Chains A and B, each alone.
Chain A
Amino acid sequence: AQSVTQPDIHITVSEGASLELRCNYSYGATPYLFWYVQSPGQGLQLLLKYFSGDTLVQGIKGFEAEFKRSQSSFNLRKPSVHWSDAAEYFCAVGAYGGATNKLIFGTGTLLAVQP
């Protein structure tokens, strides 16, 4: 069955430090992968996506992610974190749902940013 694992429930980084959020997926075919960000009480905003091609994808707000098929990973990175990046981050994989496809989300990683 398809699944997404985010091993880190909570991460705290200092402002200006680099960030890496981990995501591992389980999917039999070519995965379609997404990273979403959610500020408290808000909806989800797409940061970036991977469908095919270059395994390093660039997203909004200075984020990037690297797809590594051998490790079944799609980790999110940012070289220098800003206080406004504090939020919940969800990794997701597009999965067959029968008549219509659907997103399967990881459990999320809550990012706190220290001044």
Chain B
Amino acid sequence: DTEVTQTPKHLVMGMTNKKSLKCEQHMGHRAMYWYKQKAKKPPELMFVYSYEKLSINESVPSRFSPECPNSSLLNLHLHALQPEDSALYLCASSQGGRLNTEAFFGQGTRLTVV
């Protein structure tokens, strides 16, 4: 199983809503990532969890709150988002945080903030 599963595939939320994005992998990977991707742009790293601990936060606004409940799950909690936060949110995982490991990506959640 080389899959990273993200739910939901699509999400529309108002600026006062609270919602969560979910990501799951069963490859035994110990590093998990959240990326944000705007149209026609490369993915931008948001957060990295390594061995269930937050190891990188790329100065992401606090309205995005990551959580790693266990080694297979990664959540991204959303609150008070702005329309400019509309994007494709990608989850990825890799065996560890080493340079020579490949990252496996999920299909993404298309988020629209209205």
- The chain A residues found within 8 Å of chain B, CB to CB, are 32, 34, 36, 41-46, 49, 51-52, 90, 94-103, 105-108, 110
Contacts and interface: CB of A to CB of B under 8 A. Distances in A.
Given A99-B55, A102-B56, 7 more contacts: A43-B105, A43-B107, A94-B99, A97-B97, A102-B48, A105-B42, A110-B40
B80 interface: no
Nearest first, the 9 A-B pairs at minimum CB distance are: A100-B97, A105-B42, A99-B55, A94-B99, A43-B105, A100-B55, A44-B105, A100-B50, A43-B107
B77 interface: no
A98 B55 contact: yes
A43 B90 contact: yes
A46, A52, A103, most chain B CB atoms within 10 A: A103
Contact of A103 (B50, B103, B107, B110): B103
Nearest to B44: A105
Interface of B: 4, 6, 31, 33, 40-43, 45, 48, 50, 55-56, 88, 90, 92, 97-108, 110
Nearest to B48: A100
A45 B55 contact: no
A105 B102 contact: no
Contacts of B42: 90, 105-108
A102 B45 contact: yes
